[in-house]
Amino acid sequence: MNGSSGSLLRLFGSLKTAVVTLTALAITLAWGTFYESAHGTPAAQRDIYHSAWFSALMGLLAINLAAVALLRYPWKRHQTGLVVTHLGIIVLLIGAMIGFQFGVDGHITLTEGASTDTVVFDQETVRIANPQGATLREIPLDFERSPLPAGGARYRLGGGLELELQQACPNTREMLVVERSAGQPNPAAHVKLSSAAMGGSATFDEWLFARDPSRAEISFGPAALRMVEAQNAQELAALTAPPASAEPDGKGVLAVDAAGKHFEFKLADVLGKKTPLGATGFTADVRGYFPDFRFDTETKKPVSVSDQPNNPAVLLFVAGPDTEIKFFLFANHPGMNIASAVRAEKGGEKNVTANYRFAQAARGAQLMVVAGPGDQLHYVSRGSDGRFRTGALTQTTAIQTGLADWELHLLDFVPDAKPRVELQPAPVGLEDAGRSPALRVALRQDGRVSPPVWVRWSLATPLTLGDKRVTASYGWLTQPLGFTVKLDKFRAKRYEGTEMPADFRSYITIEDNAHGVTAQREVWMNNPVTYPDGWLGVRGYKLSQASYREARAGEPNETTLGVVWDPGWPLKFLGFWTICLGIFIMYYMRTYFFNSRQPATPSEPKAGRNQPAGGGAR
């Protein structure tokens, strides 16, 4: 091979090129290991292994190997193993580059009973769609590596329409803005709670709306604050009247439901006794009563700090056929009732419930703001000490809540409130799991600009400029699977006596309507599921167990499955076995490929029986 092509081939096939390429590849892999430890696997894949320059580096190595083999052409028989090995490495590298550039490496997260037909990637993206839902453009974002310029950035959407990205906030919060509605009645009060022991700082600063049930009440510890409206003087008098006195009802009443039947007992009659629940086969055993319940952090046991029924609680055991349930019941806070199975047959614990009520149980501080009649405000306060207070509420009034030294202050009162929510940037705390990122965007066309709007994470937001309408979505990049994955249930077994998981697996159903396939599969560690089952898994997505989150009370379990598809897998498979063949030829078939079978030439005399050992004539 002559000329420039031959010189170029010798350059790519030289030992210097091989050494430089392998050294660069080794340094890159070492750097990638430390980079992955510092920034995580998704960042390492995005910035290194899936980058164009890394594929170019592997491509240079493949060219070097091909040039080395071509420089030895025509090949001799003893070079067969070398050529086959080089060919296998080249094929393997090509398969790896195809997998890096076109493969899928994402995940799906499902709760029990939920399904999805898309895979999620760790890549922030803004998706712009037309009113019909068709994607106009997907814009990948990486503010960590490429911060947004001070003047923002613009992206073309077609037809002269542009998306202007003005601001990116890693965290935002909703701020309630209250304006006057010019006479439309809607009483609202802006209040705060402060404590001198806390330096007078406002722990709660909220708006209350008498006509909005979702915004009419707030809770702070054992106390509650709510706002109501009085239409006339009679309603105001009823709301601000002192509560009627009543005698305590012993130690309260215990209610138990078992085997479909309901039972009620006075706690004083069953305390410390095993009480049969009719003919159900169940018994109720009240083993503890705590008039003023507290949990001792030193002894790790429940105690009662006084004999007054300030926070009554009961420890109850309900036992029946193959079932024993432990209950901790609170009269003041029924939402905090705790039930745990000591032993229970499958589903048996669901057939037993219990509740505890105390007629005169102290329920903490109760505060009420009464709006009306007219533009007047009143307050009603009942502290945990039982004291009752009421009177006019003004911005100069400090109301004692009856809970330690906490005071209630009125900051503002709007009789005709018109609330709206405004999104504002917020700092990112140390624990940003609940952060809410958002983008401030606008549309541009022919010098016109639409009003800027905030596009929040995972919330599709419409944008309008004249007769142009699009929808912007900000979130992780997604891709259709072509089939649906449903999580039927998730189970995690533990080693006996510990909280360490011994085995956890997901039971899924795969539905492929296009091919009329419905298949149930199990996924657990080191046992993935591949669908569709193409030849050698070429067409299939591999679903593997990645992580999980066990449910709290009343919530479903959640699982995360890794989703991988590698279109370069066949070439990797072929390249691997080709390399093995080349090594086998070089080391185990040396006799055939390296020893030439050439016949002896006439000039080579053969020692014969009649030929004297010594030469010379007589």
- Peptide bond before residue 74 is cis, with ω within 30 degrees of 0: yes
Element (H, E) at 302: strand 301-304
Its pTM stands at 0.57
276 & 339 share domain: yes
Cα 172 from Cα 474, distance rounded (Å): 14
> What count of residues does the chain have?
618
Q: Supply the pLDDT for residue 345.
A: 57
* Shared-domain flag, residues 28 and 109: no
Beta strands in 91-201, from DSSP E residues, in sequence order: 104-111, 115-129, 135-141, 153-158, 161-169, 172-180, 188-195
Cα–Cα distance, 393 to 371 (Å, whole number): 10
SS3 label, residue 277: coil
Which residues in 532-570 are b (16+ Cβ under 10 Å) and which e?
beeeebeebbbbbbbebeeeeeeebbbbebbbbbbebbb
520: buried, middle or exposed (CB in 10 Å: 19+, 13-18, 0-12)? Answer: exposed
Domain assignment of residue 450, yes or no:
no
One domain, residues 374 and 308 = no
Last residue of a domain, one of 421, 442, 469: 421
User: What's the CA gap between 467 and 130, in Å, rounded?
Assistant: 12
Residue 138 burial (CB count, 10 A): 14
3-class DSSP string for 430-492: CCCCCCCCEEEEEEEECCEECCCEEEEECCCEEEEECCEEEEEEEEEEEEEEEEEEEEEEEEE
Structure tokens at 301: 């046991």
- What confidence score (pLDDT) does residue 508 get? 93
Give the pLDDT score at 72: 81
Is 340 found in the same domain as 260? yes
Residues 232 and 265 in one domain: no
Question: Tell me, what's the pLDDT at 515?
Answer: 85
Residue 433 falls inside a structural domain: no
- One domain for residues 239 and 367: yes
Question: Do 76 and 15 fall into the same domain?
Answer: yes
Query: 535: which 2 tokens?
Result: 């030849």
Please tell me whether residues 403 and 414 are part of one structural domain: yes
Residue 293 forms part of a structural domain = yes
- pLDDT averaged per 10 residues in sequence order, the chain, 618 residues: 70 85 90 85 80 86 86 83 88 87 88 92 91 90 84 90 92 86 85 72 78 80 78 82 60 86 88 89 91 79 82 88 86 73 60 77 66 87 74 84 78 90 75 75 92 91 92 92 92 78 87 90 90 66 88 77 88 90 83 58 50 43
* Cα 166–Cα 168–Cα 174 angle in degrees, nearest 5: 105
* HSE value, Cβ hemisphere, 13 Å, CA-based, for 260: 0
Q: Among 314, 336, 357, which residue terminates a domain?
A: 357
Domain-terminating residue out of 357, 372, 403: 357
Q: Which amino acid is at 486?
A: K
E strands of 468-586, at which residues? 468-494, 501-512, 517-524, 529-531, 541-549, 558-565
Give the domain range for residue 556. Answer: 104-117+479-567
* Burial per residue of 199-237, b for 16 or more beta-carbon CB atoms within 10 angstroms, e otherwise: eeeeeeebbbbbeeeebbebebeebebbbbbbeeeeebe
Nearest 10 degrees: Cα torsion 400, 402, 403, 404: 80
C-alpha 546/C-alpha 474 separation (Å) is 25
pLDDT of residue 472: 94
488 Ramachandran zone, left/alpha/beta (phi>0; psi -120 to 50): alpha
Structure tokens belonging to residue 249: 């009802």
490: nearest Cα among 504, 509, 510, 475: 504
Total count of domains within the chain: 4
> Is 297 contained in some domain?
yes
Pairing between β-strand 558-565 and β-strand 517-524 as defined by DSSP bridges: unpaired
Together in a domain, 225 and 374: yes
For residue 534, what pLDDT is reported?
A: 62
Rg (C-alpha) for the chain, rounded Å, is 39
- With contact defined as beta carbons under 8 Å apart, do 86 and 80 qualify? no
Close Cβ partners of 532 (under 8 Å, ≥ 6 residues apart): 512, 515, 517, 539, 540
DSSP string, 37-84: HHH-HHHHIIIIITSHHHHHHHHHHHHHHHHHHHHTPSPPGGGHHHHH
> Is residue 228 located within the same domain as residue 195?
yes
Are residues 205 and 282 located together in one domain of the fold? no
**524 and 577 together in one domain:** no
Predicted local distance difference test score (pLDDT) of residue 617: 38
Is 458 within a domain? no
pLDDT of residue 221: 62
Residue 467 lies inside a defined structural domain of this protein = no
**Tokens matching residue 558:** 């959640």
Domain-embedded: residue 61? yes
Q: How many CB atoms lie within 10 A of CB 523?
A: 22
Is 588 domain-assigned?
Answer: yes
Query: CATH number for the domain including 557?
Result: 2.60.98
Contacts of 224 (CB under 8 A, 6+ apart): 217, 218, 364, 365, 366, 367
How far is residue 451's CA from residue 351's CA, in Å, rounded to a whole number? 57
* Cβ-based neighbours of 383, under 8 Å, separated by 6 or more: 365, 389, 400, 401, 402, 403
